[in-house]
Amino acid sequence: TNALTMAWRLFKTLSEEQQRYEKQLIFEHPVFAKLCQQLLRGARRMTRGDLVFTLHALVHLGVPQNTLLVQTLVRACQEKLNQLDNRCISVLATTLAGMDKDKNVSALQAGLQLLVEQRISSIRDIFVLQNLIKCLGKDAPLFLKKKLEMAVVREIDGLTFPNALRMFLALAAMNYCSLPILNSCSKKIQENVHDVPFRQLILILEACHTLLYRNVKLLSALADYVNSTAYLWDKRQIILFLSACETLGFQPTKLLDFFAEKVTEEPDFLNLKNLLIALRVYSRLNHVPRVQKHLFFETLHSCLNKCLPQISNIELLKAVYALGILGYLPHRALDELLQKDSKGELLLSDDLKEQNTMMLRCVKTCMELDSPSFTKPAFVQTENLSSLVSLNLRKAQEALIELLGDENMFRQNVQLPYRYHIDFEIRMDSDRKKVLPIAATDDHPDSHVQRLAFLFAPMSAFCLGTTHPQGKLAMKKRHLNKLGYHVILIQNKKFQEMRNEDAVEFLKRKIYSEDAFSFPEATLQDNN
C-alpha cells in the first residue's frame, strides 16, 4: 500500500506526456506484476485503511477497472464497508467518483450512500464533508444532499478559505444550491480573492452558472481582481474569463474596456475562435468601449474580413448578427452572407433552424433601420394583438388606468413592423405635459405627437445587478427609437414587488420625466 500510494503521489505531479511514459514503465516492470499478485491473494486480509488507499492508488495510476485485481478490491471494500472510519469513507468516495459504473461499483456506491446517511451526524471534519459532497455527486438522492447540507451548516463557522473554495466547487459537482453554504463560501473567497489561481476563478464562474447562483458582490470581486492584475494574464485567459462572465449575464465593464484596448493594439491575437467569442461577449452584454470605440469595432471588422475564406456559414451568420446587435454593419461580410442566402446556401439544420432564421431576420432588420439613409417615418403601421394582457402585465395595466383615468388613453399589446412588439403605448403633446387619447391621435396623425413605448422586461434581459439592457433588448430599444418611439424599459420583477400606490407614482415619474425622451447615444451608426 505504501509503495503504490507513493507511486501515485509522484505520478500525479508529472505532465500528461510524462505520465503516459511512466505508466508504461510501471506496468511493464516485473515487480509490479508480482505486487499485483500479492495484493490479489491478500485483499481480504488487508486492513480497512490499506484496502481503500490501495484501490485509490491503483485506479488513479490507470489500472483498468475490469481487471480481476480491481474488481476483487471493490468486492473486499463491500465486505468491510461497515468497518470504515470517516477518513476511509472520504477516500473511497473519491475513488468511486473516478470509476465507471458497473455492477460491483454501483453496489458499493449504493452501500456507501447508506453508510454516509447513518454516519453523517458524527462527521465533524469539514474536509471530509466537502469531499463527500463532491464525490457523491448529482446522482445522490435529495434527502442525502439535504443531510449533508445540514452537517456542513453545523460546522460552517470553522470554514477556512481553502475549504470554502473546495466546498463551493463541490456543491456544483453535486448540483445542489445551498444558499447558506454558498454565501459563507463566497464571503471567504472575496476576502482571499488574491489567492485564487486563475483556473479556479473560471471554475467558480462555471459553478455559479451550474447552481444558478447570482452573487453580484462575488462576481464583482473576481472581476476587479482580474482587472487589477490584467497585465499578468495572457489575453487568452482574459477572453476565457469574459466568456464565463457573459454566460452569467455579468458585465465586468473595466475589464471589457481593457480587453478592447488590448485587441486594438494586438489584433493578430484574434483568430476565428477568439473573434467569435469576443463578438458574442460584447454583443450579448451590449458593451461599447468608452475609449476608441470606433477603432475597436473596425478592428473586429478587419479581423472578420481576414477570416471570411475559412468561416462556416453559421459562424458568418453569428458574427454578422453580433455586430448588428451593436449597431455596426460589416459590409463585406454582410454582402457575402446575403449572397449565400439568395443562393440557398445557408443550410439550416432542423435543431437550430428557428434560431438561425431569427438571426437572419434580425440582420436584415439592422440593414434597414441602422442604415444612415433611414429616416424616421411620419406614420408607423401598428396592430393591436389583443385587448387582454398577460397576468404579469395586469398590475401595469391597472396602474396606468388609475394614473390616466381611462383605458382609451393608452394601447396595449401593440404589434409593430419588423416583428417588434410593445407592451403599452402612450401618446403625449409636443410639450410632454399632457397625455392624449389614442383615438384622437389615430384620426389626426401629427408629427408633433410624442409616442412612448413601455417595455416590461424580465431581469434576464438586463446585465446582472444593473438596469443595463443586454444586446437584444438594447437593439430593440434602438430600433423603436428609429421608428419614432421614446422607449421606457422597466424591470418587471421589481415593478411587481411595488405596492400599488408606489407603482402608480413610479409610472408617473417615467411618463413625465425628461429622461423618458432622451435617445441613447451609444451606437455606431455614424461609423457606417
Average pLDDT over residues 296-305: 94
Listed range (117-121, 251-255, 494-498) with the worst mean pLDDT: 117-121
Average pLDDT over residues 265-284: 94
Which one of 64-68, 136-140, 217-221 scores highest in mean pLDDT?
217-221
Q: Which residue has the higher pLDDT, 382 or 266?
A: 266
Q: Which residue has the higher pLDDT, 490 or 98?
A: 490
Average pLDDT over residues 399-416: 91
- DSSP states along 153-179: HHTGGG--HHHHHHHHHHHHHHT---H
Range 311-317, long-range pairs (CB < 8 A, 24+ positions) = 311/272, 313/340, 313/345, 313/346, 313/347, 314/352, 314/356, 315/272, 315/276, 316/340, 317/346, 317/356, 317/359, 317/360, 317/363
Average pLDDT over residues 40-46: 89
pLDDT band at 522 (very low <50, low <70, confident <90, very high): very low
Listed range (298-302, 427-431, 482-486, 490-494) with the worst mean pLDDT: 427-431
Q: Which residue has the higher pLDDT, 477 or 137?
A: 477
Q: Is 427 helix (H, G, I), strand (E, B) or coil?
A: strand
Average pLDDT over residues 166-173: 93
Domain residue spans of the chain: 383-512
Burial 398-417 (b: 16+ CB within 10 A, else e): ebbeebbeeeebbbbbbebe
Helices (H), 353-468: 353-369, 394-404, 438-443
**Percent of the residues in the chain that have a pLDDT greater than 70, as a whole number:** 94
C-alpha cell at 318: 453569428
Distances (CA, A) of 161 to 137, 149, 239, 261, 344: 22, 18, 27, 34, 57
Listed range (36-45, 62-71, 287-296, 372-381) with the worst mean pLDDT: 372-381
What residues contact residue 392 under an 8 Å CB cut-off, 6+ apart? 456, 492, 496
β-pairing verdict for 450-457 and 485-491: parallel
Q: Report the 10 Å Cβ neighbour count for 421.
A: 13
Question: What is the structure's pLDDT at 74?
Answer: 94
Q: Is 99 helix (H, G, I), strand (E, B) or coil?
A: coil
Question: What is the structure's pLDDT at 349?
Answer: 62
Under 8 Å between Cβ of 180 and 156: yes
pLDDT band at 122 (very low <50, low <70, confident <90, very high): confident
pLDDT band at 518 (very low <50, low <70, confident <90, very high): very low
Q: Report the 10 Å Cβ neighbour count for 354.
A: 10
- C-alpha 421 chain-centroid distance: 27
**Residue 312, pLDDT above cutoff 80:** yes
pTM higher than the cut 0.85: yes
Average pLDDT over residues 47-65: 92
Question: What is the structure's pLDDT at 381?
Answer: 80
Listed range (47-56, 76-85, 308-317, 387-396) with the worst mean pLDDT: 387-396
C-alpha cell at 278: 469576443
pLDDT band at 521 (very low <50, low <70, confident <90, very high): very low
Please tell me the distance from the alpha carbon of residue 385 to that of residue 387, in angstroms, as a whole number.
Answer: 7
Listed range (68-77, 122-131, 193-202) with the worst mean pLDDT: 122-131
Question: How is residue 46 annotated by DSSP?
Answer: S
Please tell me the distance from the alpha carbon of residue 291 to that of residue 427, in angstroms, as a whole number.
Answer: 37
Q: Which residue has the higher pLDDT, 345 or 452?
A: 452
Question: What is the structure's pLDDT at 443?
Answer: 59
